[in-house]
Structure 1
């Protein structure tokens, strides 16, 4: 389909757009979001946990013991709460995604308008400027020193210069210059559409935490079959129970083996984390980022837009010869840039009058070369950029610029060149004309943010493209550690190992190129660090993409927002502590409550085996198992999963949790089995079951008390409430009848209390041994901070 000169200038008409929409020639790639409502419902209902519980619930219903089917409510809770929380998270994500969405500028009916990506149609004329993302495939119509970075598609980091007639691909972005292109492939036909659609899929399961839980769950599933077979065989042939009673005993043995609540708590914790971050204007584009945030120990941040505000003000122009053409040159240079950066905008405010100079060649600003310029026929060739890039070391102007820059000011050199700015050898020999001094305002919340990270043992590295002395002055004013000796990145070693050492030992770097930012992130990762990278400019994209967690500012370029896992839509660096704190809260609390659920799994498996080998009745009814889960695990775990927690996550989740769960579970199973066997020959079935239940609940409540350490008032209240509820369970006549309990035999109850006390002592010894020799449990929780 051809496009004429009129369309090049004016774009498509409303009628032409309607024609293409009717023909389905729209950019209908699904927006990046979470799962659909149908997928959420299916994923929360059709689970391994629900399948197991559904089968066991059907078995109990077939026996007629309907009260023992209370555990079936867990199917509803597992599905309902998971769906509600995820639907809320989905709604929050989609609202925020609309706010943070990159909108291309499209020419229609002679007017340039910003549209959502899915509103672009075939043959639309789309304008491009620095930082713009190419949203659909197309052909370049006009190019003004247009440079496209296609590294996200091809892996090649060098920008590609584009001319009219060249192809541009969706997924690439503009690093310099500007122009316009015509959309030739939209929707699923575009080059990056399949990649984008794949990237938009729900990725919660791809994490060490989730994979660890899945491994545990699969292992337990395999245990259920032999454990169930042994239990029912024992009940039928050794104890001579009826089929209904044998099935009830089997279900009672199998139900507690499944850590059903752990899956629920994990889903809730992730979903609540997304919602809480959404309320702080943080767009979580990939849910595993919640886990990654908990592991961050190094934050690499830019100076501009992070420690300082984006806006700038022209402080002064220092000229040694009083050249009258300086003001005209500055005003003209500003107007050659289609999309001026913060420095040029500040200059433009000070020099609003256009001198009427006509440019014959333009070199847009590039973060790689650190300068921009234009040639103006009879007015000569002018450049504006970094003095330490444009001038030799012995230059007096460069020395003066470094002196001013050491005060935290940004200094640019305005100079004349001897060749046109679009020459391959540009800028050539630069003759200084003036130093342009700009002021940046330090963000009022920058110091408190850096102090927070220092208190949490998170190292902050300032990596900037600005002059090293200027960056060091700003960082020093904020008392950033290791900022006294800023390093010029041009002097950094090229050896990966030497670079890693330099980056670890230094806190501030200036004159860092985009490739160096990427290399520095990789160097830190090679030393075992988990790195979060913040940025807002095109020059940050590659580093953001390689970092463990990429954090983009909402006002940053579309390219940075596209590759980042977290987008700070409020543009506040001070929001990042809340983000890191939320990640730590989620992961730390899930590991904490995992100890409860897996301890239950261990003692349930061992108790079933002990009972089967001993060829005796299983001591508990399914209703007993349900109430144990409520008071010793379910309710406490829900509260603990939402509590403040700032401990940085560590690898080895499964091994670390099982080191606590296995000995604790073994002690509970043994104590319960011993108390049961000691009374079963002299007691009724209800009395024997009650004795075993008292023993189990006391030791399990002590495990809860250990997991809740260190104590705070609300944790003590939680433990007291669960203990009180458990006590009432055994003394209230209604609950005695409902749960088939008989604690009236004083000797049996005393035996249960004595056995439980021994179990409590053994569990406490295990905890102290672990704390002393393996440091598995932290001595203290970090105090809650503003980041929680």
Structure 2
């Protein structure tokens, strides 16, 4: 074990001068790496503009423009406006997220001009003298030049879980984490060349968590791409056959063919899906939640198990001294002085900080020290003329203590009693000499120190919310399982039988899965076991969220479906999380979960509108091809539909509140409503058009009006169905859209803009068929809702796990 003399607390090197720092910055020898909390501008533009469907829309717009019928080409302008709007919205989110990332960027201490200062890790330059403290993530690769019991966890690079002691001359690597002691190193390799940045180049770039919505939409887009490819020659041939006897009709052929093809393109669906995700990130940022991957918002809606650490999540994370329970009354005075000396040592941790507030320093001179780390679970220090003292976890130290003798406190029994109360207990013991690498031995117990953890005031209500929403809670902690269970019990949750993770059958995956399924509280969990518990739940079909704040949570956070880091988390923990709770408020979790559910439910709503339009267009293309009629609509007439019955309502509904719980099967439900509704819309508009043709005395525009009325009535019925449950603002929205469409029928400018020629016969003809469409849509909607109700719920953990 490394020992530390108290007279080596100053930096071993004055560090770089300001001029040297400026030279290295100018030379680009800085530690800054690309900010990856959001996509770069060029990718945002490419994603929103350069898509295969926008390319097809652009081609059709150019063809229509060449006919001189410019107003029929406004569908292309609308697509461009949609793309611009999407870019603007995502840029707004990018600026917000990037600013939050800067404000909450990890910092490190460096020595410059002999002065220690705190700077963002990205501002470290080559040659800097960097100070390392417990909990810091090493920001660069370099060589140790000063050591005070420095121990580093290199598991994320080497896979070795045991902390490695570091002495002067040893190398340290970026991305590793200080778990004990203090030290200084010189940054030899910075920026993208460091080990951590090379290894994390792929993991830290803008990535997308698995998204059921986006996966389903991508499937739809692939189908629609092939449908459009097949439809292009069919549509142009049919239009030529219907209107091509006179070559002067070439303009009509192109315009109506374009209208048919535009209806097959879901130009707004991808945009509104992205917009829903982006808007959710902005809303969550107002709650101090930084979303580092957009689809993580949707992933929250699918979570059915959430794994929580106790400290920092259910409890405040700060501990306070409560009382001293000496082995014998005559040991109180010396125990208090020893605690004061340990509490005011050079390497404080959470326990000693709490003790420092209660005990004053006796000014003992330290001659050697072994700093605390979580692997050992104890610390020790030697003092001239006052012996060696050890402070640590009772379950680790008791086995090395001599019996207390007659009349003394039964330390082991008392520790068991205190564990049931949820209090944290550490044991103060005296040793003959500073322990070596084999650990302490020959200890004499002096006192139990009782510390209390403050339960978060919002924790009970948050756990109750999870239970109400069908989300099962697993509490996974490195503390004593009985202590963890006691805390959970204080939150009005039945902890069941807590499990000591040291007894988990790691060599029997099937037995491990069963235990994980049936257990609520796990204690003494190592980082590898946290990861194994998460994987076990995933293997059983659960969507798992993991919260944490310590380095020991990193592996589990990275493997969870959604990793959530607390605001005070170590830099390494924040780096792998998809969501960071910047203010560390556990009470924000219900709002975050609700935001995910709002997104997925609203995207499903708007997807129904867009896919129904695609199905409708396909039905009309097939019907008109079979009977030899031209396509009923002009592009500008379908723009009226796309704008007021689909686009604007979809945009507003995508951003609306929605508390509907997530159910798997997004694509199946969308198609269950969109296919029958699309068939109904296509059929009634085609029948209205063909009926108008049979009258013989209607001109082409009057026939189109008949079909357009039937189509609009059917789509507004679908919009009303999707707006359920009704609210005043939803009814007002539909009413406003109907009013806008009505203006196109009753005003001269609307008639001219959308090429509408109104006659009593055409309106009545369209209304009659539209009523049929309304009936079919209502039946389809009720059937789809019944399908949702009959759908089996997501897999739930065993009965023993409910919070």
State the TM-score, normalized to the length of structure 1.
0.92
Report the equivalent of 1:718: 733
**In structure 2, which of residues 124, 148, 151 is the aligned counterpart of residue 147 of structure 1?**
151
- Give the drift of 1:500: 2.7
- Give the drift of 1:733: 4.4
**In structure 2, which of residues 772, 776, 780 is the aligned counterpart of residue 766 of structure 1?**
780
Helix, strand or coil: the match of 2:22?
Answer: helix
Question: 2:268 matched to 1:253?
Answer: no
Distance in 2 (CA, whole Å) between partners of 1:404 and 1:25 is 54
List per-residue Cα deviations over 1:235-285 (Å, max 9, x = no partner).
223432611110000111111211111111112111111111111111112
Report the equivalent of 2:799: none
**In structure 1, which of residues 215, 218, 224 is the aligned counterpart of residue 219 of structure 2?**
215
CA contact (8 A) 1:372 1:383 kept: yes
Helix, strand or coil: the match of 1:384?
Answer: strand
Helix, strand or coil: the match of 2:263?
Answer: helix
CA contact (8 A) 1:374 1:382 kept: yes
Distance in 2 (CA, whole Å) between partners of 1:465 and 1:420 is 26
**In structure 1, which of residues 561, 565, 571 is the aligned counterpart of residue 578 of structure 2?**
565
- Give the drift of 1:319: 0.8
Aligned ranges 1:326-345 → 2 under 5 Å: 326-336=335-345, 338=347, 340-345=348-353
Distance in 2 (CA, whole Å) between partners of 1:632 and 1:607 is 18
- Give the drift of 1:648: 4.2
- Give the drift of 1:426: 0.7
Distance in 2 (CA, whole Å) between partners of 1:417 and 1:290 is 53
Helix, strand or coil: the match of 2:131?
Answer: strand
Report the equivalent of 1:283: 290
CA contact (8 A) 2:495 2:521 kept: yes
**In structure 2, which of residues 44, 50, 56 is the aligned counterpart of residue 40 of structure 1?**
44
CA contact (8 A) 2:496 2:519 kept: no
Helix, strand or coil: the match of 1:314?
Answer: strand
Aligned ranges 1:473-622 → 2 under 5 Å: 473-480=486-493, 482-494=494-506, 495-622=508-635
Distance in 1 (CA, whole Å) between partners of 2:792 and 2:59 is 40
- Give the drift of 1:776: 7.4
Structure 2 CA distance for partners of 1:568 and 1:719, relative to 1, 3 Å: same
Aligned ranges 1:279-358 → 2 under 5 Å: 279-321=286-328, 322-323=330-331, 324-336=333-345, 338=347, 340-358=348-366
List per-residue Cα deviations over 1:279-313 (Å, max 9, x = no partner).
11111122232222221111211222212223222
Aligned ranges 1:119-130 → 2 under 5 Å: 119-130=123-134
Gaps of 5+ in 2: 1-8, 404-408, 794-803
Helix, strand or coil: the match of 1:665?
Answer: helix
- Give the drift of 1:55: 1.1
CA contact (8 A) 1:407 1:470 kept: yes
- Give the drift of 1:7: 8.2
Distance in 1 (CA, whole Å) between partners of 2:417 and 2:209 is 53
- Give the drift of 1:97: 0.6
Report the equivalent of 1:786: none
Structure 2 CA distance for partners of 1:567 and 1:701, relative to 1, 3 Å: same
Report the equivalent of 1:420: 434
- Give the drift of 1:345: 0.7
Distance in 1 (CA, whole Å) between partners of 2:410 and 2:687 is 89
Report the equivalent of 2:469: 456
- Give the drift of 1:354: 4.2
- Give the drift of 1:633: 1.0
CA contact (8 A) 1:30 1:197 kept: no
CA contact (8 A) 1:60 1:66 kept: yes
Report the equivalent of 1:183: 187
Distance in 1 (CA, whole Å) between partners of 2:233 and 2:209 is 32
- Give the drift of 1:734: 3.9
Structure 2 CA distance for partners of 1:625 and 1:460, relative to 1, 3 Å: same
Question: 2:745 matched to 1:736?
Answer: no
**In structure 1, which of residues 423, 444, 466 is the aligned counterpart of residue 457 of structure 2?**
444
Gaps of 5+ in 1: 780-788
Report the equivalent of 1:662: 675
Distance in 1 (CA, whole Å) between partners of 2:443 and 2:745 is 90
- Give the drift of 1:650: 4.3
CA contact (8 A) 1:139 1:167 kept: yes
CA contact (8 A) 2:669 2:788 kept: no
Structure 2 CA distance for partners of 1:215 and 1:611, relative to 1, 3 Å: same
Please identify, of 689-698 and 716-725, the stretch whose mean Cα deviation from structure 2 is larger.
716-725
Distance in 1 (CA, whole Å) between partners of 2:745 and 2:10 is 86
Aligned ranges 1:32-71 → 2 under 5 Å: 32-71=36-75
- Give the drift of 1:565: 1.4
Distance in 1 (CA, whole Å) between partners of 2:544 and 2:30 is 39
- Give the drift of 1:90: 0.9
List per-residue Cα deviations over 1:386-432 (Å, max 9, x = no partner).
223322599921221232332232211112345633x2321334432
- Give the drift of 1:96: 0.7
Please identify, of 687-696 and 398-407, the stretch whose mean Cα deviation from structure 2 is larger.
398-407
CA contact (8 A) 2:209 2:293 kept: no
- Give the drift of 1:484: 4.9
Structure 2 CA distance for partners of 1:402 and 1:483, relative to 1, 3 Å: same
CA contact (8 A) 1:148 1:173 kept: yes
CA contact (8 A) 1:382 1:415 kept: yes
**In structure 2, which of residues 57, 80, 83 is the aligned counterpart of residue 79 of structure 1?**
83
Distance in 1 (CA, whole Å) between partners of 2:544 and 2:164 is 29
List per-residue Cα deviations over 1:689-724 (Å, max 9, x = no partner).
111111111112222222222333333333333334
Report the equivalent of 1:31: 35
Please identify, of 665-674 and 494-503, the stretch whose mean Cα deviation from structure 2 is larger.
494-503
- Give the drift of 1:106: 0.8
Question: 2:368 matched to 1:360?
Answer: yes
Structure 2 CA distance for partners of 1:591 and 1:517, relative to 1, 3 Å: same
RMSD, aligned α-carbons: 2.6
Distance in 2 (CA, whole Å) between partners of 1:362 and 1:344 is 14
Structure 2 CA distance for partners of 1:697 and 1:447, relative to 1, 3 Å: same
Please identify, of 400-409 and 55-64, the stretch whose mean Cα deviation from structure 2 is larger.
400-409
Distance in 1 (CA, whole Å) between partners of 2:20 and 2:575 is 30
Helix, strand or coil: the match of 1:610?
Answer: helix
CA contact (8 A) 1:358 1:377 kept: yes
List per-residue Cα deviations over 1:160-203 (Å, max 9, x = no partner).
33333222221222223332211111122212223444444333
Report the equivalent of 2:378: 371
Please identify, of 5-14 and 260-269, the stretch whose mean Cα deviation from structure 2 is larger.
5-14
List per-residue Cα deviations over 1:123-177 (Å, max 9, x = no partner).
2111112221111111122333433223333444443333332222212222233
Distance in 2 (CA, whole Å) between partners of 1:523 and 1:379 is 50
Report the equivalent of 1:467: 480
Please identify, of 71-80 and 567-576, the stretch whose mean Cα deviation from structure 2 is larger.
71-80
CA contact (8 A) 2:144 2:169 kept: yes
CA contact (8 A) 1:328 1:355 kept: no
List per-residue Cα deviations over 1:600-649 (Å, max 9, x = no partner).
11111221122122211111011110011122211111111011223344
